[in-house]
């Protein structure tokens, strides 16, 4: 097993043993293959460099308390990358091909799969990239599908379930109305880099985007979906410009299992004041609690017009903790996987 400090992993790049690749050309995919070459070799005129012909996914593998290795919901990631790639009019791998590539990646890099008990996991990053040379604006006809991985801890480097602050992005949009916000394509993330950097430099952990049309409703955080707890109700925004998070989908099911009411609906900004708990939710850490959210005229402004203090404060909310523990219990093999979410290697 790789000699790493498993208890102090952050969410960052680490070179592993191999990546899995397949190329689409002339109407067919090449067989999946493992390679130790971590450099891609294709034309400088590839569409990905000029027109962002690229989409990607993120999922995790876990070494359970019972010694079994589990991939968490790779079938959902397969469906989503097919949807994203299809929106770019690129060739996409079948669901079966996607899952096999992920399993191959884990096997080829098995010594980098963290042991059970450290709260760590193996993060897998499947990518779909347009690689044929082109000058005109067009969808790619030749495509690279690859899956790479890295052992990771928490996304922000903070202790798991430690609340952080957030700020509203009133003068920046993550996506346009009727745009690509609901697809996991590379271009969506490029637009959030500058405002995210501004927020981080001001000490905020998260940046909360509003709906791009009216700026009156909550959309999602820059890194993940928004969820809130209001009494016995789980609330998450309904918006055409929000990425359909697999983690959010999973949490909603778990909340229903616990007898909670799940509301996926329009969420006015002012309703933040009525929530008992607020979290960002995504693959990286399942949930990241938020203790306060600042509202400013602009992200660059030093003036804070309103601060929403979340009642759960400096602790993860009790309901959020319960939801988190249930999902992590399933991923670690400590609780029964009643929904069949885990794929065992």
Residues serving a catalytic function are: 184
Distance CA 131, CA 2 (A): 33
Handedness of CA 168, 170, 174, 180 (dihedral sign): positive
Structure tokens at 274: 């009525």
Q: Yes or no: say if 121 and 60 are a contact pair by the CB < 8 Å rule.
A: yes
What does the DSSP 8-state code read for residue 165? E
Name the nearest CA neighbour of 168 among 191, 189, 198, 193.
198
Detail the DSSP E strand segments found in the chain: 19-25, 28-29, 33-35, 54-56, 59-63, 69-72, 121-130, 143-152, 164-169, 206-210, 218-221, 225-230, 233-237, 261-265, 277-282, 286-295, 306-309, 342-344
């Amino acid at each position: 097993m790789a000699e790493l400090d498993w208890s102090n992993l952050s969410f960052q790049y680490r070179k592993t043993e191999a990546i899995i690749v397949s190329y689409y050309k002339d109407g067919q995919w090449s067989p999946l293959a493992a390679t130790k070459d971590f450099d891609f070799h294709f034309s400088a005129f590839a569409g990905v460099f000029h027109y962002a012909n690229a989409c990607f996914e993120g999922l995790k593998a876990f070494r359970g308390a019972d010694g079994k290795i589990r991939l968490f919901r790779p079938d959902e990631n397969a469906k989503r990358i097919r949807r994203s790639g299809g929106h770019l009019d690129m060739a996409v791998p079948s669901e079966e091909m996607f899952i096999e590539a992920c399993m191959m990646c884990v096997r080829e890099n098995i010594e980098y799969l963290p042991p059970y008990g450290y709260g760590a996991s193996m993060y897998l990053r499947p990518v779909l990239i347009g690689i044929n040379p082109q000058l005109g604006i067009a969808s790619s006809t030749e495509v690279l599908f690859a899956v790479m991985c890295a052992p990771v801890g928490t996304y922000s480097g903070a202790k798991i379930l430690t609340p952080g602050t957030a700020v509203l992005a009133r003068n920046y949009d993550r996506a346009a109305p009727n745009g690509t916000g609901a697809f996991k394509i590379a271009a969506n993330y490029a637009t959030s880099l500058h405002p995210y950097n501004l927020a981080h430099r001001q000490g905020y952990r998260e940046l909360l985007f509003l709906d791009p049309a009216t700026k009156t409703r909550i959309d999602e955080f820059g890194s993940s979906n928004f969820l809130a707890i209001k009494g016995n109700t789980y609330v998450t925004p309904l918006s055409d410009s929000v990425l359909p998070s697999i983690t959010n989908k999973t949490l909603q099911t778990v909340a229903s299992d616990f007898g909670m009411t799940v509301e996926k609906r329009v969420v006015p900004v002012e309703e933040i004041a009525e929530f008992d708990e607020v979290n960002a939710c995504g693959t990286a850490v399942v949930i990241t609690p938020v203790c306060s959210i600042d509202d400013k005229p602009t992200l660059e402004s030093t003036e804070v017009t309103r601060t929403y203090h979340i009642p759960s404060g400096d602790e993860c909310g009790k309901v959020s903790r319960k939801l988190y523990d249930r999902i992590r219990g399933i991923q670690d093999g400590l609780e029964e996987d009643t929904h069949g979410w885990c794929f065992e290697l």
